[in-house]
Amino acid sequence: MKNISALENIFIEIFELDSNNDLSKLSSANHKNWDSMMQVNLIVAVESEFNISIDPDDYEMFNSFQNILQVIEKY
Amino acid sequence: MGNKSLTYLQALKLIKSFSNQQQQSHSITCSANINPLIHFLRANMIESHDTDLSISSNEFGTLKQHLISNLSDQKDILFLFPWDLIESLNWRTGITSLDERYENELNQNFQLIEAQSFKNIFYFSAPLPPIFLNTNQKEFFKSKLDMTASKLGSTIIQDGICLKNFISSGCPFDNLLIDETAKKILLTLEHKKNEAKKIIVTDLDETLWKGILGEDGLGGISAEAEPSSHIHFIYQGYLKILQERGILLAICSKNDQDLVEKALEVNSFVLKSEDFVSIKASYERKSIMIKELSKELNLGLEHFVFIDDNPVEVNEILEYLPEVSTFLFPKDLNKLNKIFDELEVKFMASEVTKEDKNRTKMYKNIPQASSAVANKIVDLSDYLKSLKMKVTIHNRSGDNNQRAIQLINKTNQFNLNGIRRDENEISEIISGGGKLYTAHLADKNGEHGEVVSILIDSTNTAISFVMSCRVFQRDLEFYFLNYILEKVTPILNISYKSTERNKPATMFMEKMFNSSKDGIYELNINKMKAFNSNINKIFKDTI
């Protein structure tokens, strides 16, 4: 639960969304601003917010809210 | 700068909620992707200074193009990585053996960067790829690159690089240390702006030495280990130590250039002329001389310290060049020691390298493109008005004329003909129908005493006209002559003869009569009014 709300915060800031949006379904396929630059920003945010260093193997998982959540759970 | 570490989200939130309009602009040139870092730079600046940063940067991977084509018009900040200096050190292009011509490459890149004179360079001493024969060679390389960077004047940042990030996104910063890196960069920028002084500009007369060169002559100045000039002896010794530590020294004095050079040559002072990166001796405003110097050396005014015993000069710099740190040279060694303490802090900011120690030589090789300071027209009337000068004219034709006579016999520089006259001669001239007048000057800084003296003979010829060097470039001579023409004689002949030391008088003649040939020149009230109609506005009242 803690991870979900922290990740939601990241999404709200990075994609400049408001908290009423359903964030859990967001993915690179359905958000036009989700490009490679955003992906870098998401990685920076996740690493710095959760104080972890993401394995480069997991970078490709940074394509949807659910997948990122899964990655975070691993650390 | 706050000590607590910001996370990326906190940084974004700070930027988003910042409502103040205050903004500082910077441009960063570099080969990497620095987008995440920019957020941290902005957030930290907002947190510590309530100011946002507007940072522009070149496209990812276009550093070389920028350097070669000189594209970056704003030479502000440069970020450098080892692979910017030697390409085979770039992890992104894979591990390739070191090109044998790496020395050439390093030199070329060094020159390319040096030629652009960036204001701030940060060198990130990133890990080098495993392409070396052994650890010794690797260490050697690392220090060679560090040294090259420090020769360029870089701030070297050792930690905070993450190869993983660099490979995956082109952003080489470790996301857990990126806030710290941003704080280091901002601290350095701030430090450089405020503290790092690089040059001391010193006055000569009654500052670098005791005495007034133009008046007392080559033998009349001193800075020895004797009670009378000891403070100047100590001051020179301190400047010498600073110079050895890499601080530049320069002279800015209202004097004749050749006389100053001679004075430094014939007196066995602690400081010799080769210790100074530049000697500016002229009768130009000191604020103009210092500006010239800043241009010649390509060194921002914020790096300048100015020391002078004359409060008027110090105030002029304070007013016109507020970036310069100014000090009034005191008469008391206890007070001078306090100044030393303050200077120590200002100069400690930068670590001294071997290169620093040769800086004076290095700067001396900069071509002196613009040494002509003469004939510059600057409107100083606002400044002169702000001095709130008050002139009192005295008729000294009767008694109480000691100072008037002393001035005529002591003054060399602003002396229209250099002729000395003793008391008897002056008395005779006065009793034959001549007149002797002086001007006393005071301003918001205090009293200057009687500083102008004129001796007019029975034919209305000013056979002596002198003004003390303490009050040059205040237009006092014009005001005084205007008074004489209005109140004493409507036509005044001026006797002028050039001497070895009266350049200021020559400049006066050129201004007033467009000529400096020896002879008698006629001045009348109309000519004076046409020359300067505003003169009475600059000075307060007369008595």
- CATH no., domain B381-538: 3.40.630.30
Check residue B376 and give its pLDDT.
42
Cα separation, B171 vs B161, whole angstroms: 9
Evaluate whether A9 touches A35 at the Cβ level (below 8 Å). Answer: no
Q: Do A13 and B9 touch (CB under 8 A)?
A: yes
Q: Do B12 and A47 touch (CB under 8 A)?
A: no
pLDDT of B255 over the 90 cut: yes
Q: Which burial class, exposed, middle or buried, applies to B179 when counting CB atoms under 10 A from its CB (0-12, 13-18, 19+)?
A: buried
Question: With left for phi above 0 and alpha for psi between -120 and 50, is residue A16 left, alpha or beta?
Answer: left
Of B13, B165, B171, the CB nearest to A13: B13
Query: What confidence tier does B204 reach under pLDDT thresholds 50, 70, 90?
Result: very high
Token representation of residue B216: 């007392």
**Alpha carbon of A1: minimum distance to chain B alpha carbons (Å):** 19
Check residue B117 and give its pLDDT.
80
Q: Do A44 and B33 touch (CB under 8 A)?
A: no
Q: Which residues partner with B435 through β-bridges?
A: B456
Check residue B439 and give its pLDDT.
95
Q: Report the SS3 class of residue B478.
A: helix
- What's at B401, amino acid-wise? N
Q: How many other CB atoms are found less than 10 A from the CB of residue B262?
A: 14
pLDDT of B378 over the 90 cut: no
Q: Which burial class, exposed, middle or buried, applies to B82 when counting CB atoms under 10 A from its CB (0-12, 13-18, 19+)?
A: buried
Query: What confidence tier does B3 reach under pLDDT thresholds 50, 70, 90?
Result: low
Check residue B369 and give its pLDDT.
37
DSSP states of B206-271: TTTBBS-HHHH-GGG-B--SSGGGHHHHHHHHHHHHHHHTT-EEEEEEES-HHHHHHHHHHS--SS
Q: Quick one: CA dihedral B416, B418, B419, B423, positive or negative? A: positive
Token representation of residue B518: 């020896």
pLDDT of B2 over the 60 cut: no
pLDDT of B170 over the 50 cut: yes
**Alpha carbon of A32: minimum distance to chain B alpha carbons (Å):** 19
Q: Least CA distance to A50: which residue of chain B?
A: B7
Q: Give residue for tokens 């008395």.
A: B427
Cα separation, B209 vs B195, whole angstroms: 28
Check residue B257 and give its pLDDT.
92
Q: Do A48 and B178 touch (CB under 8 A)?
A: yes
Q: Which domains does chain A have, with CATH numbers?
A: 2-18+26-74 (1.10.1200.10)
Of B7, B16, B33, the CB nearest to A49: B7
**Alpha carbon of B78: minimum distance to chain A alpha carbons (Å):** 22
Cα separation, B504 vs B467, whole angstroms: 10
Q: Do B176 and A43 touch (CB under 8 A)?
A: no
Q: Do B16 and A51 touch (CB under 8 A)?
A: no
Segment B167-194 mean pLDDT: 86
Segment B512-530 mean pLDDT: 90
Which range (A20-29, B120-129, B287-296, B347-356) has the least confidence? B347-356
| Residues in CB range of B268: below 8 A, 6 or more apart | none
**Alpha carbon of B7: minimum distance to chain A alpha carbons (Å):** 5
Check residue B356 and give its pLDDT.
57
| Residues in CB range of B344: below 8 A, 6 or more apart | none
pLDDT of B350 over the 70 cut: no
Segment B43-56 mean pLDDT: 91
**What percentage of chain B carries pLDDT values higher than 90?**
48
Every domain of chain B and the residues it spans: 8-194, 199-364, 381-538
Give pTM, 2 decimals: 0.48
Q: Chain A residues with CB inside 8 Å of B171's CB?
A: 40, 44
pLDDT of B460 over the 90 cut: yes
Which range (B37-51, B193-207, B372-386, B409-423) has the least confidence? B372-386
Evaluate whether B333 touches B230 at the Cβ level (below 8 Å). Answer: yes
**Alpha carbon of A29: minimum distance to chain B alpha carbons (Å):** 20
Cα separation, B535 vs B451, whole angstroms: 18
State in words which class domain B199-364 has. Answer: alpha beta
Check residue B473 and give its pLDDT.
78
Q: How many other CB atoms are found less than 10 A from the CB of residue B54?
A: 11
pLDDT of B373 over the 50 cut: no
In tens, the pLDDT along A4-35 reads 999 998 999 888 888 777 888 888 888 888 88
Instruction: Tell which CATH classification among 3.40.50.920, 2.170.190.11, 3.30.565.10, 3.40.50.1110 matches the domain B8-194.
Output: 3.40.50.1110
Q: Which burial class, exposed, middle or buried, applies to B482 when counting CB atoms under 10 A from its CB (0-12, 13-18, 19+)?
A: buried
Check residue B416 and give its pLDDT.
95
Check residue B368 and give its pLDDT.
44
Check residue B355 and give its pLDDT.
53
The radius of gyration of chain A from alpha carbons, rounded to an integer in Å, stands at 11
Q: Which burial class, exposed, middle or buried, applies to B225 when counting CB atoms under 10 A from its CB (0-12, 13-18, 19+)?
A: exposed
Which range (B34-48, B138-152, B206-220) has the least confidence? B138-152
pLDDT of B230 over the 90 cut: yes
| B8-194 matches B381-538 in fold | no
Q: What is the mean pLDDT of chain B?
A: 86
Q: Are strands B446-456 and B435-443 parallel, antiparallel or unpaired?
A: antiparallel
Most confident of B200-209, B334-343, B438-447: B200-209
Query: What confidence tier does B372 reach under pLDDT thresholds 50, 70, 90?
Result: very low
Q: Give residue for tokens 């050749």.
A: B258
Check residue B467 and give its pLDDT.
94
Query: What confidence tier does B231 reach under pLDDT thresholds 50, 70, 90?
Result: very high
Mutate to test the interface with A, among B59, B175, B177, B179 (most CBs of A within 10 A): B175
Query: What confidence tier does B81 reach under pLDDT thresholds 50, 70, 90?
Result: very high
